Structure 1
């Protein structure tokens, strides 16, 4: 996961509240077995509307989404974060986030910056008046700047640290690889262990009952 300290990109005003994860990415797209390629599924139900904000040239290359309150509600799905990231978003700014979405975002490298609603209104006004305006999000200073408007945002210290260090769950685990190896070395061999299937010896699979040698005929 890439380290995040500061990002500047085109701001996208999404004047919608209570945007749930099914609106971010419909469930029909969850059948894929990969973690990439979800950009076309982002806001799929709304992308058919020519007036939708992401269909406007000034916002197509946006990377800072400024959304209404209660963003990311509904069922927990990491695909919602993947779709936002695959499209190119680095930051989502909102007055309130669903707890699970906020947690998933931090683990995947997407900053969920919580800003007061009155400040969101100021940023929306600028972005809608001058489409294509860039927004700078500084994780070190915990500020969002849009034109001459500079406002603070909230993010918990732990998530901030993970983003600045570029640590996803695997990265966090690898920080303790020496301790893990030492634990495995001193762990008694007789204790139960789970090994990858490729390391297991081949086992002959026997039928639970006699196999019929011909259709409609039972074995003697």
Structure 2
């Protein structure tokens, strides 16, 4: 980051959008620390990382737009425990709350990247998407860069605190996913059992 300066920080954040395991909670405070050491200006760190956030989000938006609703439903139909109706419900929810989801999603790990895909699928107006993404990313990036700048050599303390927040979010998402899978498997099992019972009843009724 010292060698590439602001553009390097922006590139790292753009890649973080495309590959969520690269944590912005590490990149941004480190950019702030680099700025405090004279490697770049604080203003440049904020501008470049925000530009990187927008570029990365735009790439995922275009991916969603290329994928389209019909392909997304076709893919969902091939996935275990997922139905086309799930996609349709998600679509209806996004049409009602899409602007809030895109803005506030910038403050949630993993979801920060993924929210750009349904925005593209639903063809959210591009100027609105870019404005919401830029504003949310500006707030998030400025907070972490400023913290890293203020803490200096102790910039990693920001990562330690936010790392706990990220883990809590991931645990909540994981539990929700397991609950969804459990409910869907339970319903599928009951439907299968009901079909078997009806078949057995039909066989008994048809027996001489």
Shorter-chain TM-score: what band?
Answer: under 0.3
Give TM-score scaled by structure 2 length: 0.28
More strand by share: 1
Relative contact order, higher structure (CA 8 A, sep 6+): 2
More helix by share: 2
